[in-house]
């Protein structure tokens, strides 16, 4: 009897299944397809979501920096698990005013390089929370193909990796300005070194003294390479 | 008459094969259609999770746990966060606990939906897979609403959550649950009760309870073998002791206890149980509370070690962390359930046909990201 | 048809210088080309339809970009396949690998030679038409085994072996179920089989509901034979739930694993040509071929009743199931029913040419095949054999005896005569 029961079961259950698919076939208007370029998911507003309840839901599609608000504190660089953010800063001259952020903080460092390597970024959002100025945040802009990023000064290793032109440069400081400041620093250091040398010679002549090593961490051009070798 | 000389053929299934759920390679020794020995070859997706964890700070590990089992990111991050919290003795706000449960159970549904749909796909039914993915998309919408991402959320943080849920989330969650109950009945109609499906899965790849326990199989696969072991019940972590739900155990309704159909059906029924838990959690969810109030400023656990386990959609997920008192883990070990579940494949899959091996592999519901880590 | 075509060409002024034999050969090649175009277009259309049907069943939209509603998608795909690099694996058998797809295509293409599309429209009106179609379509298996073996790939080999076992087994239920119809009509000529199904009569001979004299309504046994044929034919054309030779989740792509580009397109062409042959054969043997159900006054009455029933079902369905009450479909069908009741002549006018009717019937069968495919899981090899040898074969055999009993009961044959 099991034989015929099997056949009967097969027929009934198969027809049950066919009813489901036919139901959907008839109600083809219930489709869930989104015709992408014509229709899009709703885009949430820009926000970084520290605090207020109604403003934090942001789709994490691209990392963005409001560079005018950046104070160059490098907290985001340290928070990044994959080291996709590279920041170089230069000290400003004494008394020089390079503006304030939107939260009213006086900027003290000139951000000469702020690159985000979107080939490395894993959209974890960990960099946005430490930012004291709320200037680094995720945007819902998922269209990377437009190539609207600026020409980036990157090392050869980075350029090799960045075949899709996805290293985004946010710093707006022109190259000439950077060079000028570097020159000033170099000059100052040269003067300092000369003074130190003089002092050393003078000290040698009199007693023992140790010259201090020059402070030049901020302008190391090789920082990108260190990152790439990880 | 001389005996016909017959040799076994070694068949490489994968790493590029439609049904190996990622980049798994199975070395099958086959005699015609019959498979006599299965040797899984893994490591194609190895990303040094554990070594990586020894080099980055505690909160930075969370996104990587998401990437281990990419179908159950919330559960993975939940397990990791619990481990570090235990190590640091952090008391969590009520709201965080409830939200974590809600998201973990939503993730369990989403993961089981993939498992159920992909199992259908493995036995040749393409349509249920798309129905399952439709529902999964709705869950991902909820996740996106809360965390901003659809797959890798980095939402469960050590000591709290990345964000509070947005207004309207609870309503949408209820809406989904009401809609979802209907859908489970639909899966039953198109797949679970389908005679061809039953023929393909019932009595196939039977895993007796003894074998399951010996191989360290956990999760739905273990429960399908008739062992009533669910960490949410057996060792209630987080606040699972506050909810009413049944642990689903395979009964062998269509064949033997522990066959592919049981493993499939346990997942279907577990989805309904998860929905039940979510409903209770949504009802009891405290309206007040800062989800970040318990997030430590500096995560620097005291010297010591911890093993913390939780129930992932695939089974028992354990994290073993040794802390040397610095902000970077000294050692981070992950006990991934799918890895242990896969190890049983030769035991239960040898002697079946190629088609059955596919079905058995599908019913084990492995995620290669987690196996290879 | 060939002869008629040839003599028409001879009468035609510009071609009258042709001799009889060249004219016949020319007619043959023209008809062959026409069928080939039909086969190609058939695949183009069916692929599109299949994609749309599957999409709608899976709450998707399917192709929407190329052409209006994606209608040109398959054309674009075919073009892409044509332009693809022709890859032959290094260790494949170079000759068999090339020949295999062509044999498969040829076998499914040649089967059309005996298919009657309309009264008088049959490329070769042979007395063993049914036998010819059934036997020639099983030549496909040679091509499949050939290409599976020649690919020098284990998956392909598995696919080929499974296919051989499957097609050989399912030949038998196919043959037995067709034999049931042949037993009733007493001929293997497809045109005569269709001609025997003309007009409208009682359902199952005795139930006084007007139904067309198609063999599927001839007796319960022939109804069963039709179902068996449909199941076995699904297996013969390798479609889900019997698509084990190319089961994509197990054998990657079965015997097609190593094929790409135009050779792969040939497999596709023949797959859909096979589906069309099976559908047409079902339509011819069980659904009355090109016969219109509304051809005479009795038919008109049948048309009226069926339209009314349809309208009622539709109204109920729309009202209780869909809930979004739309007036247009109900209105159309109600209006059509009223017209049909008022003017029987109009219903007779619905008896459009045979080509349209056979296309409609074949289309319904193909839709059924698609419906199966997008609903069911796949059977395992041994279950497939079980179904063939232990279920379909005994039932078909008993069924054949049942047909004989039925014919004796209805007086079509007598034991003494």
Q: Using one digit for the tens of pLDDT, what is the confidence trace for B276-286?
A: 899 888 888 88
| Domain housing A196 | 174-207
Beta bridge partners of A111: A89
One domain, residues A107 and A84: yes
One domain, residues A187 and A111: no
Mean pLDDT of chain C: 80
One domain, residues A31 and A78: yes
One domain, residues A179 and A158: no
Q: Tell me what pLDDT residue A230 has.
A: 40
Nearest CA in chain B to A32: B134
Contact (CB<8Å) B134/A32: yes
Distance from CA of B66 to the nearest CA of A (A): 10
Query: Which of A4, A16, A17, A21 would you mutate first to test chain C, the one with the most C CBs within 10 A?
Result: A21
Question: Measured between alpha carbons, how far is residue B370 from residues B45, B334, C105, C403 in Å?
Answer: 9, 9, 45, 60
Nearest CA in chain B to C253: B18
Please report residues of A whose CB lies closer than 8 A to that of C53: 25
Q: Tell me what pLDDT residue A156 has.
A: 59
Whether residue A33 is contained in a domain is answered as: yes
Instruction: Determine the Cα–Cα distance for residues C219 and C403; give it in Å rounded to an integer.
Output: 8
Please report residues of A whose CB lies closer than 8 A to that of C64: 33, 35
Q: Tell me what pLDDT residue A222 has.
A: 44
One domain, residues A192 and A111: no
Question: Measured between alpha carbons, how far is residue B77 from residues A13, B69, B98, B152 in Å?
Answer: 41, 10, 15, 10
Residue B149: which of A9, A53, A123 has the nearest Cβ?
A123
Contacts by residues C267-270 (CB-CB < 8 Å, ≥ 24 positions apart) = C267/C101, C267/C104, C268/C43, C268/C47, C269/C39, C269/C40, C269/C43, C269/C105, C270/C101, C270/C104, C270/C105, C270/C107, C270/C108, C270/C109, C270/C140, C270/C143
One domain, residues A71 and A88: yes
Q: Tell me what pLDDT residue A212 has.
A: 52
Q: Tell me what pLDDT residue A46 has.
A: 42
DSSP strand pairing (B315-323 vs B304-312): antiparallel
Partner A contacted by B193 (CB < 8 A): yes
Whether residue A212 is contained in a domain is answered as: no
Residues 160-179 of B with CB under 8 A from A: 162-164, 166-167
Query: Are C272 and C42 contacting, i.e. CB atoms less than 8 angstroms apart?
Result: yes
Tens-place pLDDT, residues A76-87 = 888 888 888 888
Tens-place pLDDT, residues B76-134 = 999 899 888 888 888 888 888 888 899 999 999 999 999 998 898 888 888 888 888 98
Tell me the average pLDDT across C235-246. Answer: 82
One domain, residues A159 and A188: no
One domain, residues A123 and A27: yes
Least confident span in A151-155, B178-182, B260-264:
A151-155
Q: Tell me what pLDDT residue A54 has.
A: 43
One domain, residues A150 and A183: no
CA proximity to B151, closest of B170, B126, B133: B133
Contact (CB<8Å) C55/A31: yes
Q: Is the peptide bond before C13 cis (omega within 30 degrees of 0)?
A: no
Contact (CB<8Å) A24/C58: yes
Whether residue A152 is contained in a domain is answered as: yes
**Between B41 and A219, whose confidence is greater?**
B41
**Number of independent structural domains in chain A:** 2
Q: Tell me what pLDDT residue B161 has.
A: 85
Residue B212 CA to its chain's centroid (Å): 17
Whether residue A224 is contained in a domain is answered as: no
Q: 3-class DSSP state for residue B309?
A: strand
Instruction: Determine the Cα–Cα distance for residues A61 and A59; give it in Å rounded to an integer.
Output: 6
Residues 6+ apart with CB under 8 A from C62: C51, C52, C54, C55, C56, C70
**Between C291 and B178, whose confidence is greater?**
B178
Whether residue A225 is contained in a domain is answered as: no
One domain, residues A168 and A183: no
Instruction: Determine the Cα–Cα distance for residues B136 and B142; give it in Å rounded to an integer.
Output: 10
Angle between helices C73-83 and C261-286 in degrees, nearest 10: 140
Tens-place pLDDT, residues C114-163 = 888 777 777 777 888 888 888 888 888 888 888 888 888 888 888 888 88
Partner A contacted by B188 (CB < 8 A): no
Least confident span in B225-234, C235-244, C343-352:
C343-352
Q: Tell me what pLDDT residue B295 has.
A: 81
| Alpha helices by DSSP H, C287-392 | 297-317, 327-342, 344-349, 354-373, 381-386
Tell me the average pLDDT across B208-227. Answer: 88
Whether residue A162 is contained in a domain is answered as: yes
CA proximity to C372, closest of C141, C50, C46: C50
Query: Are B105 and B281 contacting, i.e. CB atoms less than 8 angstroms apart?
Result: yes
Q: Which residues of chain A have pLDDT under 70?
A: 42-58, 145-165, 208-230
Q: Tell me what pLDDT residue C180 has.
A: 87
One domain, residues A199 and A154: no
DSSP code of residue A111: E
One domain, residues A102 and A130: yes
Query: Which of A23, A25, A34, A36 would you mutate first to test chain C, the one with the most C CBs within 10 A?
Result: A25
Confidence of residue C350 (pLDDT cuts 50, 70, 90): low
Domain locations along chain C: 1-83, 94-292+352-409, 303-350
CA proximity to B341, closest of B318, B314, B373: B314
DSSP code of residue C318: I
Size of chain C in residues: 417
Partner A contacted by B64 (CB < 8 A): yes
Tell me the average pLDDT across B262-275. Answer: 90
Residue B9: which of C154, C378, C382 has the nearest Cβ?
C154
Confidence of residue C295 (pLDDT cuts 50, 70, 90): low
Residue A20: which of B162, B186, B196 has the nearest Cβ?
B186
Tens-place pLDDT, residues B123-149 = 888 888 888 898 898 888 888 878 878
SS percent in chain B: helix, strand, coil, step 5: 50, 15, 40
Whether residue A221 is contained in a domain is answered as: no
Confidence of residue C71 (pLDDT cuts 50, 70, 90): confident
Whether residue A219 is contained in a domain is answered as: no
For the cut 60, the answer to whether the pLDDT of residue B337 exceeds it is yes
């Amino acid at each position: 009897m099991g034989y015929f029961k099997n056949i009967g079961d097969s027929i009934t259950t198969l027809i049950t299944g066919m009813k489901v698919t036919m139901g959907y076939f008839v109600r083809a208007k219930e489709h869930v397809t989104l015709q992408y370029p014509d229709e899009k998911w709703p885009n949430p507003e820009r926000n970084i979501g520290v605090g207020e309840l109604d403003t934090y839901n942001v789709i994490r599609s691209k990392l963005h920096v409001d560079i005018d608000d950046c104070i160059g504190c490098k907290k985001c660089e340290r928070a990044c698990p994959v080291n996709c953010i590279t920041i170089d800063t230069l000290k400003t001259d004494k008394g020089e005013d390079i503006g304030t952020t939107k939260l009213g903080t006086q900027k003290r460092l000139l951000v000469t390089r702020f690159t985000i390597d979107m080939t490395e970024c894993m959209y974890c959002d960990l960099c946005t929370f430490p930012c004291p100025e709320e200037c680094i945040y995720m945007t819902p802009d998922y269209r990377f193909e437009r190539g609207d990023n600026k020409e980036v000064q990157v090392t050869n290793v980075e350029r090799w990796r960045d075949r899709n032109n996805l290293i985004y440069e946010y710093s707006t400081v022109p190259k000439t300005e950077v060079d000028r400041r570097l020159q000033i620093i170099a000059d100052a250091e040269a003067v300092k070194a000369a003074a130190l040398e003089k002092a050393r010679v003078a000290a040698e002549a009199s007693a023992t003294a140790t010259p201090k090593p020059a402070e030049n961490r901020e302008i190391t051009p090789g920082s990108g390479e260190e990152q790439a070798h990880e | 008459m001389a005996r016909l000389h017959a040799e076994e053929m070694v068949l490489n299934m994968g790493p590029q094969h439609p049904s190996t759920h990622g980049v798994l390679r199975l070395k099958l020794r086959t005699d015609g259609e019959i498979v006599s020995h299965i040797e899984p070859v893994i490591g194609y997706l190895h990303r040094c999770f554990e070594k990586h964890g020894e080099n980055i700070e505690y909160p930075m590990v969370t996104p990587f746990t998401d990437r281990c089992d990419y179908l159950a990111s919330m559960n993975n991050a939940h397990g990791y966060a619990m481990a570090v919290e235990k190590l640091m003795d952090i008391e969590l706000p009520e709201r965080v606990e409830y939200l974590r449960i809600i998201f973990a159970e939503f993730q369990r549904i989403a993961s089981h939906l993939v498992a159920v749909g992909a199992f259908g796909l493995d036995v040749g039914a393409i349509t249920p897979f798309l129905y399952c993915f439709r529902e999964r998309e709705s869950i991902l919408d909820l996740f996106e609403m809360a965390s901003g991402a659809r797959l890798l959320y980095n939402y469960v943080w050590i000591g709290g959550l990345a964000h509070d849920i947005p207004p309207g989330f609870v309503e949408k969650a209820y809406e989904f649950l009401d809609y979802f109950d209907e859908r489970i009945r639909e899966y039953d109609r198109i797949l679970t009760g389908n005679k061809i499906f039953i023929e393909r899965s019932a009595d196939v790849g039977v895993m007796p309870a003894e074998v399951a326990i010996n191989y360290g199989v956990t999760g739905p696969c273990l429960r399908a073998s008739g062992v009533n072991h669910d960490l949410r019940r057996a060792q209630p972590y987080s606040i699972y002791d506050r909810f009413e739900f049944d642990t689903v155990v395979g009964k062998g309704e269509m064949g033997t206890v522990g066959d592919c159909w049981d493993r499939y059906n346990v997942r279907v029924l577990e989805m309904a149980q998860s929905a039940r838990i979510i409903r209770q959690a949504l009802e009891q969810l405290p309206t007040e509370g800062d989800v970040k109030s318990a997030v430590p400023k500096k995560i620097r656990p005291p010297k010591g070690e911890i093993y913390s386990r939780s129930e992932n959609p695939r089974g028992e997920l354990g994290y073993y962390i040794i802390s040397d008192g610095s902000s970077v883990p000294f050692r981070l070990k992950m006990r991934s359930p799918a890895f242990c579940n896969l190890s049983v494949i030769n035991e239960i899959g040898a002697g079946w046909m190629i088609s059955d091996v596919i079905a058995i592999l599908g019913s084990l519901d492995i995620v290669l990201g987690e196996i290879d880590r | 048809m060939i002869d008629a075509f040839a003599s028409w060409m001879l009468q035609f002024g510009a071609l009258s210088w042709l001799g009889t034999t060249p004219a016949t050969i020319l007619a043959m090649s023209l008809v062959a080309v026409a069928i080939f175009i039909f086969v190609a277009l058939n695949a183009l259309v069916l692929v599109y339809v299949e994609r749309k049907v599957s999409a709608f069943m899976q709450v998707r939209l399917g192709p929407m970009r190329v052409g209006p509603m994606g209608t040109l998608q398959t054309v674009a795909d075919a073009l892409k396949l044509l332009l693809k690099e022709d890859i032959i694996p290094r260790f494949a058998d170079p000759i068999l690998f090339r020949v295999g797809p062509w044999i498969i295509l040829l076998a499914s293409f040649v089967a059309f030679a005996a298919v009657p599309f309309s009264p008088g429209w049959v490329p070769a009106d042979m007395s063993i038409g049914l036998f010819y179609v059934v036997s020639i379509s099983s030549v496909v298996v040679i091509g499949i085994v050939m290409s599976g073996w020649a690919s020098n790939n284990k998956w392909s080999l598995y696919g080929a072996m499974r296919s051989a076992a499957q097609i050989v087994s399912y030949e038998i239920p196919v043959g037995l179920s067709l034999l049931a119809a042949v037993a009733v009509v007493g001929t293997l000529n497809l045109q005569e089989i269709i001609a025997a199904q003309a007009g409208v009569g009682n359902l199952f001979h005795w139930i006084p509901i007007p139904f067309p004299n198609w063999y599927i309504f001839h007796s319960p046994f022939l109804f069963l034979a039709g179902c068996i044929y449909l199941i076995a034919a699904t297996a013969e054309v390798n479609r889900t739930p019997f698509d084990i030779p190319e089961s994509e989740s197990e054998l990657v792509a079965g015997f097609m694993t190593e094929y790409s580009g135009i050779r792969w397109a040939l497999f596709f062409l023949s797959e859909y040509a096979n589906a069309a042959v099976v559908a047409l054969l079902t339509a011819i043997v069980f659904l009355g071929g090109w016969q219109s159900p509304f051809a005479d006054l009795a038919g008109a009455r049948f048309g009226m009743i069926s339209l009314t029933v349809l309208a009622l079902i539709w109204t109920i369905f729309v009202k209780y199931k869909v809930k979004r009450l739309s007036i247009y479909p109900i209105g159309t069908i109600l209006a059509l029913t009223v017209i049909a009741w008022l003017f029987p002549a109009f219903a007779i006018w619905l008896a459009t040419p045979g080509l349209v009717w056979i296309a409609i019937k074949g289309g319904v069968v193909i839709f059924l095949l698609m419906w199966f495919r997008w609903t069911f899981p796949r059977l395992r090899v041994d279950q497939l054999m079980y179904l063939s040898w232990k279920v379909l074969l005994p039932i078909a055999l008993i069924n054949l005896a049942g047909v004989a009993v039925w014919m004796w009961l209805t007086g079509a044959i007598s034991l003494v005569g």
